Structure 1
Amino acid sequence: MRLLLTLLSLLTTAAPAVADDVWSPVREVSLELGPGSPLDFSGFLANPPIEDASRIVINGDGRLARANALEKPVRFLCASLGWSPASGGFPDHDGADRYARQLRMHGYNIARFHFVDAALMFGRSRDFDFDTEVMDRFHYLMAALKRNGIYWIMDGLTSSRGAYGGYEDRWEFNSDLKLTVQIEEDAFQHWLRFQEKVLATVNPYTGIAPIRDPALALIIPFNENSIEFDSILHERDGTPHYSDKLRPAFNDWLKKRYGSTDKLADAWGWVQRGERIEDGTVGLPANRYEKSPRMRDLQAFFVDVETRSAERMTQALRKLGYTGIVSPYNNWPSIQTSLSRAGQQAVAMNTYQDWVGSYEPGSSIQQKSSIADGAAYMRVIAAARWLGRPFFVTEYDHLFWSRYRYEAGIVMPAYGALQNWDVLCRHAHGPIILAYGEDFAHKRQMLPYAIALDPVARAGETLAALLFRRGDVRGSPVSIPFLIKGEEDLTQSVEARERDDLTSLALLSAIGLSRPDDNHLAGKQDLTIPSPRRNASADAIIAALRDRDILDYDNETDVADGVYVSDTDEIRLDRDKLRISVTTGQTEAIAFADLPGSIRLKSLTAAGASGSGMFAVSSLDGLPVAASRRLLVIFATDARNSGMRFADAEERVIADFGHLPVLIKVGSIAFTLPGKGNWRLSPVGLDGRVHPPVASGQGDISTRLSNDAPDGPTTYFLIERD
């Protein structure tokens, strides 16, 4: 009670007056952490050496683990490396050593190589005429990452231009290679040759071909190459939604299934005049919004093509010597693509909140909170996972310039941990930079996917290292199976996916897909989502969770009010208040659209925030928050570029992205923590350097914190107790 009274006193005496937003320029240039910095997590998030014995495998529980420690599942925080010439490309050798060391210090233990094909072929006129300097830098960076205990994820191909010469649009979607690689032999052989020349060729800096290296944990044969999704990317006004290149294979498939046009007409109810499978003249659906037996069969055809393509690519990689994990079709959470992934040894998925497709003026976002829809971008991929297999989130982001992107630092790592996911990768050109001010097009200002320059995104990644990789948030002890029988689950809509009300169960417990004969069903009939879904009830599942005491008696989940509390009692989402909080032994955190009053988590009480943001307190010494003598405070509001302009009052449409320096929105929040002994609160720069204290005292901490520190704005502070 004394703490609460003190805090209320602070609110009445120190709360800021209502005023226009104030933005303060970031002063740091170098962002390299020094050893022992509060942001150097390598001491308690150690990366063991990568050797044959520590190769990443799938253990008996379907989790990722090192081969020499199968009983210890490993969570991976992934560094997305999607470099292009516009973002500076691969660093030189010295830069690679520094970069890899910094990734380790920031808590990363796996990295994803993305668009390597485009980087190798940029400016090249002949097929497979790789830039030798880029190849050298790529090889060296792989070795530098491995020396720092950082595993690799590789795209077999990313660019729809593959390794064909003579193209300037390698980061765009103007080619159909992602489709043809699955249905045309020449395209498949092109894909295979790239694997041979890049992955199956010895890296001079490791002495082994990447495909045989224990550092390679996952291959995605071709990024985002599901047929339906690729057709959407190629959709243009006035053109068919589905490529006519599919027609011959579709007709062959129909002929094998039905035998004759008469039997096809009986199954569909009709065919158009002139359509005959004997002549290969049966057409594709007129558009993707058609709901018909033809559309249902097209989906079954997609499943067949994608399943056989995935098997062929996997076998090709095995013949080249790869023994690790393969996971094709890493996006699009429809029923059809779930069936395509049914036979895979692992599932990888991509997802976005407020997706942005261009850096040009006029680009727009919705400025929507992810909490407002109950973290739907998380739930849709949770429902695409197959239980009992590893799950890789190969891309996610709540994109700049959304004012709500501070939510991502809690939403995805907290729920990813609850779901028992294995890998979490926030998509980016690169997750960190060594310094502001590099003269490359994508580093002259913050942009979508340029999270390294964004203090808000970086604050979220810092918290993710603690919530997800360190394991501050526990995994759910139960998983709710969503049954899928097979092709009979397809509907006449290609857009069909799991119902929103059912995926809301991911806010309480782990969810995922399961076959009716899988072992995940033993003793769980009352916790199972049946197939078909028409009789499924989220309310019935929640009641069963309560009956089994999986949800505690005092669990405050109330679906009608939009309140969801996890079965571990660590995560609470309040949809209508746009708040999410995490309360664990070593971290207490909250993201909020507003916080005019006070809220108590466990040890932490926060109140009187000047605006929206994310506030977290995490132990750095392994002790619980209440007993810790060294705590990292993270306070993220918003950030934008100098001179940034919008075309509308809601700040949805970009007129000009502006330029450096980055500006952080000035904010403040009052908070209390119990404790004993002398304490001091010191700003920590974005470079990890500890500055002189801005507050101190004895016993309980009760203060108002402003992110506009004397040495410049920041998102980090350090609490130390004697």
Structure 2
Amino acid sequence: MKRFLLFLVLGTVLSSAAAGPRLLREWTFEKPDAAVAIRNGGRLSFDPLRDSSGNPVLEVEIPKKPGNYPVVLTFRSEIPLRKGRKIEIEFEVRSSQPCRAELQAADSAPPYSHRARSQTFDIPASWKKHRLSFVITSEAREALSLPQILFREVPPGARIDFGPIRVTDVTDAVPRPAFYETRAGKEWRPVDTSDLAVKAGAALDLSGLVDRSPAGTWGRVTVDAAGRLVFEKRPEQELRFFSIQLLPGSTIGMQYMSHTEVEALVETIVRQGYNMVRIHGPGRFLVGPGRGAALKNQDSFPLPETADEIEFDPEAQDRLDYFIYLLKKNGIYINLDGLVSFVGFSSEVGLSIAARHSNSAKVQMFVNPARRRNWTAGVSKILTHRNPYTGTALKDDPVLALFQYYNEQDIRLDLRDYADAFQPLWIEFLQRKYGSYSALYAAWQGRCGDVVLPPAGSFAQVPGVSFKVARTDTPAGIDMTRFQAERELEMTRFYQRETARIGYRGLTTQWDMATRLVHLPARAEMPVITMHGYHAHPSGYGGSRGITLNQKSPLAEGGSAVKRQSTARWLDRPYLITEFGFVFWNRYRHEQGLIYGACASLQNWNGIACHCNQAVLYGDALVSFQVGHDPVGRASELVTAFSYLRGDIRPSPHTVEIPISEEFAFGGRAMGAIPDELSRMWIWSRIGLSFAGRYRAPVNADLRITPDGTAQTGGSDMFEEIKATRGTAGLERYCALLKKHGILRPGNRSNPACSLYESDTEEVAMNVKTAELAVRTARLEGAVLKTDHPVKLDALTIERCSVPASVTLLSLEDAPIRKADRLLAVIATDARNSGMRFSDEEETTLEAIGTLPVLVRTGRFRLTIDRPDRAEFCAYALKLNGERVAELPVTGKAGKLILELDSGTLAKEPALFYELIRR
């Protein structure tokens, strides 16, 4: 009788669920749960880390050696479900190695019959939220594994973190659309991208922003005794480089250009204001098109070991020579990568290898003499080749301002398997340090991570280096970080010796990707520090279905990538950001121009380079990183050119030093980075670090702040992320210190508790809570807005801004906005391809990349400009190349100019640039 009544009650509950969504189960991982299990060799742990919302995390570790069957993670629901029920599963996930997995609903006991169609989902390096739904296709005999996750395509050794998993019956919920699409209409209008070469004399022509004397007129670029980047023959002026990041091969197609087309490309590089080009991947370009094939055996392949064995295509070499000649002629300097390829230098263009393969050059260069000979051969061939147009080899030509040995070679134990390649050197390191195995056993207390060492063992039985152990503060972990630092230091000295032997005497750099403290000893050898960093780096490249990208605002994260880059700077030597970007299709990438212009100017960095190909001759469909095709990217670059290169935003007059001692870095913290609270100080004053009390030049700091801990890091092969902090207690303490020492004056509006930050120059203000930024200078004023509300700057008031946008007004003359006869307004919103589709409402997951024409998001705007002289102005909407496309009315009233527009109704096409000229 009791059983019958229980069945009736349960049946009532199940039938009542038909009224709408019903939560079936939620796993929060507060503590171990017997309903959570793993099969086929995987390991589970409840990690003390937290997901992006602060919830506990379940960590899954995939075996390093794959078994016969893929790892399966099961969550037993204890709830049988009838055929036809629609189930929705929500969760957040990330992986140490971006990959894909498969979600299933299956019986929880053998033979594990599937009760719904499986679905795949991607697992990027940073936290991503998924919401997947499916229909139960057959009756379950009893409880289900709901969900069941199959790791079929996951790399060996990967670590995967799950946040809370929520399972809901949504049978009668309102159905969601299959995808979300961007279509032409009033909100999104097409813009002409057929001709993107900036026209001479147009308002967008920035060729006059810098001295265009031929490169080398003032001697080589060098570093003076004060640690400043200067010309040899003009040491009184510190240099700033506004750089284009150029991939000359497939994405630009320079090998197919005529000399006339190369000339046109250089002309538009000049007119967009650039005075440096970072040539990325010259070795791959010089091989030329049409040769080679993908490697069939990634474990073993031959590579040339002498310069004579490497064949460069004569036409590709000619185009590069002519390009460099034109750059030199126009006062544009070069930052050159030695090696970019994961393979090495070859005579075959198609060679490729998995980025994380243990045989990639990024691992083998540390240990393999043949790979080192290959590097020397390729670099020597590039640097010693005599350019027939300049009459000089690059090694001797002052046009080459900076040479990087190998792009992003930083040791990443969390991403690549170095253990086997490093094992002989690792054993040698331990033997050198401890002398005997017994001494090591005692120092390590018999353990290396989870491995219990044999008391009477040998060095050969010690586990290889691994991220899991290196990130701990155990004796074994500390030794691993010391070993890693030693390897990078030895690698640096090899590069220095070989480059000197080749005959290059200019500036060099290396270790430009990761900001963990473990990299400091090798970076200390560099005369110039460089760094990379991105906001919303996608999970893949191109326009493939399933690629993901976050839609967060950089300002909502306190500046995003600029934070991490600001604390990677060394105060005693030059510093350049040689890759950055707020990446398409992030809807808030319009923030980039003002954020990077403000940060680079306040910090007085020596160079910045957005990635990539910012200057192009004609348009194409938008894809991530191809900035020259993106109207929003072009607008951001122009704003940065004025704010940073022209110097409209003043540098901070104050310096805060972050001293890092060797004991602090290698006392169990080496795999961490500078804490987020310190990096958020970028807006307050000039900040940077010093290491081990050794300085290449004097550092006159107004204040020193020693970190009391480190931050966790993550990312992928192509970028790094720093774990952000939500609290403001540390920032409030630092703000009080800066006010106490007079770095921030008493009237400064900074109040971290209220999410308000203002620079010591009081020209830049940021509200993290509203994700807004304001810049007020004599020749440039602008703001990033999220909602439609008036913003009073100085001469400019933004009275209307109907969509999230960046709005900037600047003087095109050497006169303040209130007096200039020629002004330029830049209004950047968002841009997409026609028919661009997403599989989720947040537009984070790509369904289809879309096609031309490019669509620009429209809006309604009203700008009021103070003009005490009551001058009359006219205005023109401009095309992306600077051509005037339509005249707009400018009204005058009581000493103010008023420009009011609706870009959804402008004649011909919407515009991002508006030229205002005095009549």
**TM-score, normalising length: structure 1:** 0.90
Q: CA deviation at 1:54?
A: 3.1
Instruction: Supply the distance in 1 between the matched residues of 2:379 and 2:418 (Cα, whole angstroms).
Output: 28
Q: 1:137 to 1:588 in 2, by over 3 A?
A: same
Instruction: Supply the distance in 2 between the matched residues of 1:314 and 1:521 (Cα, whole angstroms).
Output: 24
Match of 2:674 among 478, 487, 498: 498
The residue aligned with 2:638 is 462
The residue aligned with 2:515 is 333
The residue aligned with 1:655 is 847
Question: Where do 1:277-356 residues align within 5 Å?
Answer: 279-288=459-468, 291=472, 292-356=474-538
Equivalent position SS for 1:255? helix
Q: 1:311 to 1:275 in 2, by over 3 A?
A: farther
Q: Residue 411 in 1 paired to residue 599 in 2?
A: no
Q: CA deviation at 1:270?
A: 1.6
The residue aligned with 2:298 is none
The residue aligned with 1:718 is 915
Q: Which moved more, 1:182-191 or 1:169-178?
A: 169-178
Q: 1:282 to 1:547 in 2, by over 3 A?
A: same
Q: 1:58 to 1:287 in 2, by over 3 A?
A: closer
Match of 1:645 among 824, 832, 837: 837
Equivalent position SS for 1:713? coil
Equivalent position SS for 1:226? coil
Instruction: Supply the distance in 2 between the matched residues of 1:209 and 1:132 (Cα, whole angstroms).
Output: 16
Q: CA deviation at 1:374?
A: 0.2
Q: Is the 8 A contact 2:354 2:360 kept in 1?
A: no
Q: CA deviation at 1:702?
A: 1.7
* Residues 583-636 of structure 1, C-alpha deviations (whole Å, 9 max, x = no match): 111100111222x22111111100221110110001111101111111111001
Equivalent position SS for 2:625? coil
Q: 1:284 to 1:714 in 2, by over 3 A?
A: same
The residue aligned with 2:280 is 114
Structure with the largest fraction of helix: 1
* Residues 395-420 of structure 1, C-alpha deviations (whole Å, 9 max, x = no match): 00100000000011111121011111
The residue aligned with 1:250 is 426
The residue aligned with 2:660 is 484
Of structures 1 and 2, the one with the larger relative CO (CA 8 A, separation 6+) is 1
The residue aligned with 2:330 is 148
Q: CA deviation at 1:544?
A: 3.1
- What residue identity is the alignment partner of 2:795? S
Q: Structure 2: state its 5+ residue gaps.
A: 1-183, 293-302, 305-309, 711-728
Q: CA deviation at 1:33?
A: 2.1
Q: 1:522 to 1:204 in 2, by over 3 A?
A: closer
Q: Is the 8 A contact 1:260 1:277 kept in 2?
A: no
The residue aligned with 1:273 is 453
Instruction: Supply the distance in 2 between the matched residues of 1:494 and 1:544 (Cα, whole angstroms).
Output: 27
- What residue identity is the alignment partner of 1:78? S
Q: CA deviation at 1:165?
A: 4.7
Q: Is the 8 A contact 1:285 1:294 kept in 2?
A: no
Q: Is the 8 A contact 1:55 1:67 kept in 2?
A: yes
The residue aligned with 1:593 is 786
- What residue identity is the alignment partner of 2:397? D
Question: Where do 1:156-235 residues align within 5 Å?
Answer: 156-165=338-347, 168-170=350-352, 173=355, 174=357, 175-228=359-412, 231-234=413-416
Instruction: Supply the distance in 2 between the matched residues of 1:172 and 1:658 (Cα, whole angstroms).
Output: 28
Residue correspondences, number: 685
Equivalent position SS for 1:417? helix
Instruction: Supply the distance in 2 between the matched residues of 1:279 and 1:712 (Cα, whole angstroms).
Output: 71
Q: Which moved more, 1:376-385 or 1:146-155?
A: 376-385
The residue aligned with 2:201 is 36
Q: Is the 8 A contact 1:521 1:528 kept in 2?
A: no
The residue aligned with 2:762 is 569
The residue aligned with 2:175 is none
Q: 1:479 to 1:21 in 2, by over 3 A?
A: farther
- What residue identity is the alignment partner of 1:268? W
Q: 1:350 to 1:539 in 2, by over 3 A?
A: same
Q: CA deviation at 1:530?
A: 2.1
Match of 1:71 among 236, 248, 263: 236
- What residue identity is the alignment partner of 2:873? W
Instruction: Supply the distance in 2 between the matched residues of 1:432 and 1:166 (Cα, whole angstroms).
Output: 28
Instruction: Supply the distance in 2 between the matched residues of 1:64 and 1:500 (Cα, whole angstroms).
Output: 28
- What residue identity is the alignment partner of 1:23? W
Q: 1:21 to 1:504 in 2, by over 3 A?
A: farther
Equivalent position SS for 1:403? coil
Identity %: 28
* Residues 65-118 of structure 1, C-alpha deviations (whole Å, 9 max, x = no match): 122211111111000002332542443321111111111111000000112222
Instruction: Supply the distance in 1 between the matched residues of 2:457 and 2:672 (Cα, whole angstroms).
Output: 27
Q: CA deviation at 1:540?
A: 4.1
Q: 1:486 to 1:515 in 2, by over 3 A?
A: same
Q: Is the 8 A contact 1:459 1:636 kept in 2?
A: yes
Q: Residue 668 in 1 paired to residue 848 in 2?
A: no
Q: Is the 8 A contact 2:731 2:752 kept in 1?
A: no
The residue aligned with 2:616 is 433
The residue aligned with 1:552 is 745
Instruction: Supply the distance in 2 between the matched residues of 1:350 and 1:375 (Cα, whole angstroms).
Output: 15
The residue aligned with 1:691 is 885
Larger Rg computed on CA atoms = 2
Instruction: Supply the distance in 2 between the matched residues of 1:570 and 1:518 (Cα, whole angstroms).
Output: 33
Q: Residue 101 in 1 paired to residue 267 in 2?
A: yes
Q: CA deviation at 1:274?
A: 5.2
**TM-score, normalising length: structure 2:** 0.71
Q: CA deviation at 1:285?
A: 4.2
Q: CA deviation at 1:517?
A: 3.7
Q: 1:253 to 1:673 in 2, by over 3 A?
A: same
Q: 1:35 to 1:277 in 2, by over 3 A?
A: farther
Q: Residue 579 in 1 paired to residue 579 in 2?
A: no
Q: 1:346 to 1:456 in 2, by over 3 A?
A: same
Q: CA deviation at 1:695?
A: 0.9
Instruction: Supply the distance in 1 between the matched residues of 2:615 and 2:636 (Cα, whole angstroms).
Output: 12
The residue aligned with 1:619 is 811
Instruction: Supply the distance in 2 between the matched residues of 1:654 and 1:255 (Cα, whole angstroms).
Output: 51
Q: CA deviation at 1:475?
A: 1.2
The residue aligned with 1:446 is 622
Q: Is the 8 A contact 1:242 1:287 kept in 2?
A: no
Q: CA deviation at 1:178?
A: 1.5
* Residues 178-203 of structure 1, C-alpha deviations (whole Å, 9 max, x = no match): 22212221111111111111112211
Q: CA deviation at 1:491?
A: 4.6
Match of 2:872 among 656, 662, 678: 678
Q: CA deviation at 1:690?
A: 2.2
* Residues 248-307 of structure 1, C-alpha deviations (whole Å, 9 max, x = no match): 111111211222212222222224435999654422245436523222211111111111
Instruction: Supply the distance in 1 between the matched residues of 2:277 and 2:202 (Cα, whole angstroms).
Output: 23
Question: Where do 1:258-269 residues align within 5 Å?
Answer: 258-269=434-445
* Residues 644-696 of structure 1, C-alpha deviations (whole Å, 9 max, x = no match): 11111111111110111111111121110011211112111111112342113
Instruction: Supply the distance in 2 between the matched residues of 1:84 and 1:105 (Cα, whole angstroms).
Output: 22
Instruction: Supply the distance in 2 between the matched residues of 1:219 and 1:636 (Cα, whole angstroms).
Output: 34
Coordinate RMSD, CA, aligned: 2.3
Q: Which moved more, 1:538-547 or 1:376-385?
A: 538-547
Q: Is the 8 A contact 1:288 1:494 kept in 2?
A: no
Structure with the largest fraction of strand: 2
The residue aligned with 2:216 is 51
The residue aligned with 1:628 is 820
